[in-house]
Structure 1
Amino acid sequence: MANTKSAMKRIRTNEIRRQRNKEIRSKVRTILKKFDATVEAGDQAQAQEAYQTAVSALDRAAAKGVIPSARASRKVSRMAVRLQALGA
């Protein structure tokens, strides 16, 4: 157990950040699943809308440090390829 005031504060801070990160990561996963479902359904209009939402969520998560920016970029790129294939 922590002995100093600063160590106790770090424990509290880390827990708050862990909860925030968990919530953001969960939301991003849900949004990505919705994008996958719309692509599988073949609806281009809904897929485009889901793509915009997913890109926004990934960028926000990367900006907050929840996920690495390279991972966000890779996912956005792969989603764009799938969206283009749907339109072609």
Structure 2
Amino acid sequence: MPNIKSAIKRVRTNEIKNAQNSHVKSAMRSSIKKAETALTNKDDNASDSVKAAIKQVEKAASKGLIHKNTAARKKSSLMKKA
């Protein structure tokens, strides 16, 4: 554990940011998986789930959680499957 006050504060803020980033990334992965299963099952709401997944991917890329090329690759893969 750090002894310096600013380092203690930095540890706290890092934990908070890590939790937020993990939540956004997990939501992105879940929505991608949901969209892929909807596409393979040929559900009626498959296009809606694909839109939601793309939105989650763009949100993660804008926050810097994933690289923009990774986001483009994921979106392209979803659109190809659609």
- Per-residue deviation, residues 6-53 of structure 1 (Å, max 9, x unmatched): 11111011100110011111111110111011111123x422111110
CA RMSD of superposed structures (Å): 1.1
- Using the size of structure 1 for normalisation, the TM-score is 0.86
User: How many residue pairs are counted as aligned between the two chains?
Assistant: 82
Q: Which residue of 2 aligns with 1:68?
A: 67
Identity value in percent: 35
Equivalent AA in structure 1 for residue 64 of structure 2: G
- Using the size of structure 2 for normalisation, the TM-score is 0.92
Q: Secondary structure of the equivalent of 2:45? A: helix
Unmatched runs of 5 consecutive residues or more in structure 2: none
Cα distance in structure 1, aligned partners of 2:38 and 2:48: 9
How do residues 49-68 of structure 1 correspond to structure 2 at under 5 angstroms?
49-68=48-67
**Residue 31 in 1 paired to residue 34 in 2?**
no
Cα distance in structure 1, aligned partners of 2:61 and 2:5: 31
Q: Secondary structure of the equivalent of 2:49? A: helix
Equivalent AA in structure 2 for residue 78 of structure 1: S
Q: Which residue of 1 aligns with 2:6?
A: 6
Deviation beyond 6 Å, 4+ runs, structure 1: none
Cα distance in structure 2, aligned partners of 1:41 and 1:14: 40
